[in-house]
């Protein structure tokens, strides 16, 4: 029973998602854990062998999953995001990619002892990074916007380009070696690549037009997009091998820059699908490796080649391609170091290992081992080092979790001031300059704009902020903002004030899944907080120590004191919320709202 295909599918899913959870729980690179899990389940213990289990379906499953993952990544490539940094990105994905191809081919020939033909094929393939590996690392490291955007755009754009470059090199080699190749094959491949981009653009425009005109109902939009992506990928791939990746990337970029609301609504659903596919595919690929393939990785030539790719080829191609650009030396060092390879490199190298060996290039038999060695090394080294090196170069955001406050008023201004004093990243947003006036006087970071606008995500870098607190006077608006940002921040990190049931009737019937968590406690409304500020209440910071415990503070506090949040000694934030108990320990800072003099101080003054 345990050898059934159904059990193997279940195990692949469990290992993939389990690896993702462990990575989140212990703040580790997910790709590393998935790779180890796949190796243990496959070659180590022989629990699964996806190539044998899925037989002829193995390669189509991998290919279609890669197409969907690449499409989902390219759907985030809005040109508005790269205003001011388009020059360096263009240089890296053009000049940098070509240099990396040439340097990688030279290293493969001189060190890995591959023929020039095989070296140029594999050199083209190894320029790819891709969204499957770079996006999780960027999410983990919390880089500053500029290097993060450069790495993201490079990874998604170069991914299909690398695969196509490898095929181009293969077609060119067939002509030079007169092994069943002709110049017309090369011309046809170039035309097929251009045709794939055109097809992708037309499909993207067509989908966008249908969505804008209302020709597709909401419940069919996601299925139609996925069906169109897969159909375009297969059609383009039949015309020219590996050109399907160009086509799906073109669809994603086209839709991303049409600024269609429906696409934004589906984005988080597609991200969830992408996470599931990445998890499953990495488990399948690593579990399919043979013991013989893994043993070849220990060959000194492969080890030296990987080291050259890490420490010479990548940094050199980045530095040369960004000469006289506006990138700082620190940014060049970071971008030149981070280049993890992923799914596309593994899948396409398997294809070329077969066709090159069949064409008479016997040295191509080590391509799978060489590729996995580079993938595993870069994923591990870059995954564990990106956060450390970004901090050393001052290109990482603060480790302290930040707070995004929505709604300018007297209370949020005072709250933002305290957060700023605690050196917590904070941003106060409102659509009105007038409501932000007092915050600006205190030099509190502010943003004037509509938080729900589609332009806002390109004007505000959301990365530093882990919590969102919506505190406007409009309860329905607070709930709408919370519901909109729950997929991005997580339900536990989005808060709104208690509803003012005296102003509106029927609020008890609102579904509890709409909106964020209830901030502070039931009954603490916008009116309540701002009235207290006008009455002279203050937000007080209290250090909890062995000599002055939390219990002692509770005994001495004024009965009107409201607990707001705890800033722990390990620089974590815990906001008080309805139905939540928070442990306050020695070394923590308790922040509360209360009268200018608390009950204990009043008692001492009276005596």
Q: Is the dihedral of CA 423, 425, 426, 427 positive or negative?
A: positive
End position of a domain, from candidates 364, 392, 420: 392
**pLDDT at site 319:** 92
pLDDT by residue (tens digit) across 188-231? 878 888 898 899 999 999 998 998 888 888 888 888 888 999 99
pLDDT by residue (tens digit) across 533-577? 888 888 888 888 888 887 887 777 767 788 888 888 888 888 888
Q: How far apart are CA 567 and CA 551, in angstroms?
A: 17
Is the same domain home to 387 and 407? Answer: no
End position of a domain, from candidates 392, 422, 445: 392
CATH no. for residue 566?
3.40.50.720
Instruction: Report the domain count for the chain.
Output: 2
Residue 518 lies in a domain: yes
Is the same domain home to 413 and 388? Answer: no
**pLDDT at site 315:** 93
Is the same domain home to 322 and 431? Answer: no
Residue stretches of the chain with pLDDT short of 70: 1-3, 81-85, 130-132, 174-183, 261-271, 454-458, 500-514, 558, 597-607
**pLDDT at site 253:** 85
Is the same domain home to 312 and 453? Answer: no
Residue 568 lies in a domain: yes
Is the same domain home to 211 and 340? Answer: yes
Is the same domain home to 364 and 426? Answer: no
What is the chain's mean pLDDT, rounded?
Answer: 81
Burial label, 230 (beta-carbon count in 10 A; 0-12, 13-18, 19+) = middle
Is the same domain home to 84 and 179? Answer: yes
Residue 30 lies in a domain: no
- β partners of residue 328: none
SS3 79: helix
Q: Is the dihedral of CA 185, 191, 195, 197 positive or negative?
A: positive
**pLDDT at site 455:** 66
563: part of which helix (H) or strand (E)? strand 562-567
Q: Is the dihedral of CA 574, 578, 583, 588 positive or negative?
A: positive
Residue 31 lies in a domain: no
Cα dihedral angle (459, 460, 461, 467), rounded to 10 degrees?
A: -160
Is the same domain home to 378 and 507? Answer: no
Give the residue among 32, 108, 91, 93 at the shortest CA–CA distance from 313: 108
Transcribe 379-430 into DSSP letters.
HHHHHHHHHHHHHHTT-B--SSPEEEEES-SHHHHHHHHHHHHTT--EEEEE
Q: Which domain holds residue 524?
A: 402-606
Is the same domain home to 412 and 431? Answer: yes
Q: What angle do CA 195, 200, 203 make, to 5 degrees?
A: 125
Q: What percent of the chain is modeled with pLDDT above 70?
A: 89
Residue 50 lies in a domain: no
Residue 538 lies in a domain: yes
Residue 9 lies in a domain: yes
Residue 44 lies in a domain: no
End position of a domain, from candidates 332, 361, 392: 392
Is the same domain home to 135 and 231? Answer: yes
Instruction: Record the pTM.
Output: 0.73
CATH no. for residue 74?
1.20.1530
Is the same domain home to 356 and 481? Answer: no
**pLDDT at site 312:** 92
**pLDDT at site 513:** 55
Is the same domain home to 483 and 345? Answer: no
**pLDDT at site 598:** 54
């Amino acid at each position: 029973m345990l050898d059934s295909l159904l059990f193997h599918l279940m195990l692949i899913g469990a290992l993939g998602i389990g690896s993702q959870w462990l990575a989140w729980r212990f703040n580790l690179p997910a790709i590393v854990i998935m790779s180890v899990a796949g190796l243990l389940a496959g070659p180590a213990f022989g629990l699964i062998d996806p190539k044998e289990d899925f037989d002829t379906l193995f390669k189509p499953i991998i290919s279609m999953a890669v197409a969907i993952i690449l499409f989902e990544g390219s759907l985030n490539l809005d040109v508005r995001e790269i205003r001011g940094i388009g020059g360096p990105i263009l240089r890296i994905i053009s000049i940098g990619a070509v240099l990396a191809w040439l340097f990688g081919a030279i290293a493969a020939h001189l060190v890995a002892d591959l023929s020039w033909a095989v070296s140029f094929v594999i050199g083209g393939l190894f320029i790819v990074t891709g969204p499957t590996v770079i996006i999780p690392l960027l999410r983990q490291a919390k880089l500053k916007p500029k290097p993060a955007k450069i790495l993201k755009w490079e990874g998604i754009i170069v991914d299909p380009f690398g695969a196509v470059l490898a095929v181009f090199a293969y077609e060119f080699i067939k002509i030079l070696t007169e092994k069943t190749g002709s110049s017309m094959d090369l011309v046809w491949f170039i035309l097929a690549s251009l045709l794939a981009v055109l097809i992708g653009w037309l499909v993207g425009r067509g989908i966008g037009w249908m969505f804008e005109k209302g020709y597709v109902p909401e419940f069919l939009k996601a299925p139609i997009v996925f069906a169109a992506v897969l159909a375009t990928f297969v059609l383009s791939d039949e015309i020219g091998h590996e050109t399907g990746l160009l086509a799906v990337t073109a669809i994603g970029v086209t839709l991303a820059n049409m600024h269609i609301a429906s696409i934004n609504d589906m984005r988080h659903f597609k991200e969830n699908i992408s996470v599931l596919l990445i998890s499953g595919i990495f488990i399948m690929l690593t579990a399919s490796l043979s013991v013989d393939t893994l043993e070849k990785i220990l060959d000194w030539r492969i080890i030296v080649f990987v080291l050259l790719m890490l420490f010479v080829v990548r940094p050199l191609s980045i530095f040369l391609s960004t000469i006289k650009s506006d990138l700082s030396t620190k940014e060049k060092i970071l971008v030149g170091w981070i280049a993890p390879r992923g799914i596309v490199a593994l899948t396409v190298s398997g294809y070329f290992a077969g066709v090159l060996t069949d064409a008479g290039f016997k040295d191509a038999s080590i391509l799978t081992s060489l590729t996995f060695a580079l993938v595993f090394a870069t994923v591990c080294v870059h995954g564990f080092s990106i956060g450390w090196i970004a901090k050393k170069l001052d290109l990482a955001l603060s480790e302290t979790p930040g707070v995004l406050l929505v709604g300018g008023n007297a209370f949020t201004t005072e709250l933002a001031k305290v957060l700023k004093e605690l050196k917590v990243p904070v941003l106060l947003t409102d659509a009105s300059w007038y409501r932000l006036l007092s915050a600006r006087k205190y030099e509190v970071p502010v943003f004037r704009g509509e938080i729900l606008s589609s332009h806002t995500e390109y004007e505000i870098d959301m990365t530093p902020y882990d919590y969102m607190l919506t505190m406007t006077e409009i309860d329905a608006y607070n709930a709408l903002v919370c519901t909109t940002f729950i997929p991005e921040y997580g339900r536990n990190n989005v808060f709104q004030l208690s509803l003012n049931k005296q102003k509106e009737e029927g609020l008890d019937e609102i579904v509890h899944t709409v909106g964020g968590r209830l901030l502070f406690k039931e009954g603490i409304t916008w009116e309540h907080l701002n009235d207290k500020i006008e009455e002279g209440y203050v937000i007080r910071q209290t250090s909890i120590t062995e000599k002055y415990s939390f219990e002692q503070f509770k005994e001495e506090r004024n009965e009107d004191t409201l607990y707001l949040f705890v800033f722990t000694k390990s620089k974590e934030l815990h906001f008080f919320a309805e139905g939540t108990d928070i442990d306050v320990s020695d070394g923590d800072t308790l922040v509360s709202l209360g009268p200018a003099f608390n009950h204990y101080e009043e008692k001492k003054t009276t005596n």
